[in-house]
Amino acid sequence: MELTQPIRDIVELDKIKKYYCDIKPNKRNYLLIVCGLNTALRISDILKLRWKDVYNESLLSFKSHIDVKEKKTGKKTIIFINDNLKEALASYLKEIFEKKENLCEVMEQFIFLGQKSENKPISRIQAFRIISSAAKKCLLSQKVSCHSLRKTFGYHAWKKGVSPALLTSIYNHSSYKITTRYLGIDQDDRDEVFCLVNL
């Protein structure tokens, strides 16, 4: 079985992010990719999110954090909603409001609602198709899956100086060793360290 890798190249990352924004516009699919890249959540946890998890109906504003009980681990995690994620959420929510005006009804809906059902999110298989289709159309140099987005978050956080120990906490991994393997550090990354130190 091929191990899922993060998207390391910034240009490729930018291409896949923009695919459903510019080339084949679809705000739900765009949000799926942005959410995967910016929350470090597994796809099973992303798909169960409802609008009420990210939007405060009484204040008519987005929440600052998402509280999630992870399906796989049963652990609670709190995710900060950063600006890129908030913008993608707002854009898609605006589109939904143009079709449906009942705020209470919208708040109960899954964010990634399937088109065939009024009360179910898209499936994991459909999420995989959305993400891998964008990767293929953008001619990315590697196979990309839903899990690639989760790993991409950690890889780029690590490249920006976030310690693997903190990422272990963010990912709710049981050990530091799992996280370091998870980041997909390859020979190019190792070479970069030697070039940087260069004593």
Residues with catalytic annotation? 42, 72, 147, 150, 173, 182
What separation in angstroms does the CA of 172 have from each of 32, 65, 75, 115, 165? 21, 17, 8, 32, 11
Residue 198 identity: N
Which tokens in the block code for residue 76?
């609670």
What separation in angstroms does the CA of 59 have from each of 52, 63, 122? 12, 9, 28
User: Quick one: 153 exposed, middle or buried, by C-beta within 10 A (0-12, 13-18, 19+)?
Assistant: buried
Secondary-structure percent of the chain, ordered helix, strand, coil, rounded to 5: 55, 10, 35
CB atoms within 10 A of CB 135: 21
Which tokens in the block code for residue 29?
């699919």
Residue 94 identity: K
Which residue, 154, 51, 35, 39, is CA-closest to 105?
51
